A and B are shown apart, each in its own frame.
Chain A
Amino acid sequence: MSDVTDEKQQQQVAFAMHTFERIHHVEFQRRFLTQETRHDGREFTQFRPTHVVKGAISTAQGSATVRIGNTTVVCGIKAEVSEPDVNSPDQGYLVTNVELPPMCSARFRPGAPSEEAQVASEHIHRLFNGTAGSKGVVDLRALCIEEGLAVWSLSADIVCLKYDGNIMDAAIVALMAALEDLGLPSAQLDPATGVVSADRTKAAPLVLNKRLFPATFSLLDDAYLVADADDAEEQLATASLLVVLDASNRGALANMWKRGAGRVSSQTIHKCIDCAAQRMEALIKTL
């Protein structure tokens, strides 16, 4: 008799907790944060389990699937031949695009790309292409087939399949892995016909200038700084900080991006950089 009432009580408690989470979302999260823990049991500085699988898409020249907790992102890179820009006749292109389709989360409506997707696309594009003085991740000159006539254009599509927060980390890890997986077919331009022939059996990997490792931190409820916030926690975020380190350059910084008006002091930013370095070490070990 007491077993049945215990079970019933447990069910009632679970139902009440679930309802509480839905109705008072902020309060629900606060219950955990004030106790210095998170709703999934993680520490404030703990990242979710991260898995990377390369070469999942056979029709793409390079691909990778990344899972950070429940956030799943797939990146496919197609290499196409095109004419180079008149101003840079010996350079190819790296075009990046981040897609957050409606299937990955109820947050995203069908139609034109959302603000979040466009900002993410632009950020990834700037991060991987670099400024003229600082080289990008890919040496665009290595994409040249015949100067002034034919170059490789790499179209990298980063598609989110399941959204549970921290799209930037997942997208950057996915694109890095896909670039590392990329096999560029050897190509030759026939000067007589102007046709480029490519031999897929002789594919060579790209030499990459940088090896980027991201870490995102979010300030929840203006008070708690957590690493790798999931979707539920992102709802409370008043600020977010993205730190990207370059493993090929002894952990130099490649990007610092702080958004939102929540207060994050200089001292906190330095702590985040240290935490990002630890995250980089951990990711290097798993990859």
Chain B
Amino acid sequence: MRPDRREDDEVRALHSVLGLLNRADGSAQFSSGRTSVYSGVYGPVGARVYDEKLDRAYVEVRGRADAGPAGTADRWTESAVRETFERVVAAQLYPRTMVQISVQVREDDGAVDAAAINATALALIDAAVPLRDTVAAAACAVREDGSAVADPTLEEIRDARSIHTFAFAASDVSNIADLTSASICPIYVDSRGEFSVAEYDRCFELCARAAQRVLAFIRTAIEDKVSKESQIAGSS
């Protein structure tokens, strides 16, 4: 029985706010239960000459944790977001520019890397940066007894034998019934602790299923935004 009485494969209540930073080209806050992350996107903007790439945009990610001095843990969150989105952003359309992504963890109650990736996915769409695919991430933890639980809280992570974060593209997992298929390609994998290949496979499937839910949530959030904007445009 999980502390918050969720089912093993149940994700926490998802919540998002789009366009909350009025200076950014696009922004989003994504929350799963109490875990909450802000993401702001600026771009494409001019790149520093040092960072310019001749054939594509340079994707920069700046991350900050919720508390404490800047450290290598921030670099970790940045790395998770950058590795996921560097090639998902259609960067060849904007050579010699920069897409700057700023990630700020508001509260960490577990699965914060997944929340950062999801917030960034929403922020990039909010900023109308062309993307190859929609991306969603999910995390899960394997308990002492070997059972896997999706979207773990910090308490569940502390007692876990292994923690797993996966990011998937919509074209890979949306409308797919069999998530154990050997041909599914995860975009990002971060599994740590002590686990068997069977446990890894179970977590893969669990996170792919959770990612499907997040993708559906992202879709709804964007549809809401678009319909609101068209109402405003229609009434003016």
Contact = CB atoms under 8 A, between A and B. Distances in A.
Interface of A: 115, 118-119, 121-123, 125-127, 130-134, 210, 238, 241, 246, 249, 252-267, 269-270, 273
A131 B87 contact: no
B193 A261 contact: no
Contact of A119 (B76, B160, B188): B76
A122 B72 contact: yes
A258 B186 contact: yes
B75 A122 contact: yes
Contacts of A257: 189-191
Contact of B187 (A246, A249, A261): A261
Contacts of B182: 265-267, 270
B13 interface: no
A264 B76 CA distance: 21
Given A119-B79, A261-B84, A267-B183, A127 B72 contact: no
Main SS class of interface, A: mixed
A133 B158 contact: yes
B79 to A, nearest CB: 5
A267 B201 CA distance: 11
B144 interface: yes
Interface of B: 72-73, 75-76, 78-79, 83-84, 86-88, 144, 157-163, 181-197, 200-201, 204
A186 to B, nearest CB: 30
Contacts of B185: 263-266
A33 B86 CA distance: 25
B160 A131 contact: yes
Q: Which one of A122, A249, A261 has the highest number of Cβ atoms from chain B below 10 Å of its Cβ?
A: A261
A134 B184 contact: no
B192 A259 contact: no
Given A253-B200, A266-B184, A258 B75 contact: no
Contacts of A258: 186, 188-190
A254 B192 contact: yes
A259 B79 contact: yes
Nearest to B194: A134
Contacts of A123: 76
B197 A254 contact: no
Contacts of B181: 266
A256 B189 contact: yes
Contacts of B159: 132-133
Given A115-B75, A122-B72, A259-B79, A131 B193 contact: yes
B72 A131 contact: no
Nearest to B83: A259
B187 A126 contact: no
20 contacts: A118-B72, A119-B79, A122-B72, A122-B75, A125-B72, A130-B193, A134-B194, A252-B196, A253-B196, A253-B200, A255-B191, A256-B191, A258-B190, A261-B86, A264-B185, A265-B183, A265-B185, A266-B204, A270-B182, A270-B197
Contact of B195 (A210, A238, A252): A252
Contact of B192 (A131, A132, A273): A131
Nearest to B87: A261
Contacts of A256: 189-191, 200
Given A266-B182, A270-B197, A134 B72 contact: no
A125 to B, nearest CB: 7
A273 B157 contact: no
A258 B163 CA distance: 14
A265 B184 contact: yes
Nearest to A96: B72
Contacts of A130: 193
B195 A253 contact: yes
Nearest to B205: A266
Given A246-B194, A258-B189, A266-B182, A134 B162 contact: yes
Contacts of B160: 131, 133-134
Contacts of A263: 185
A189 B201 CA distance: 49
A235 to B, nearest CB: 14
Contact of B158 (A125, A131, A266): A131
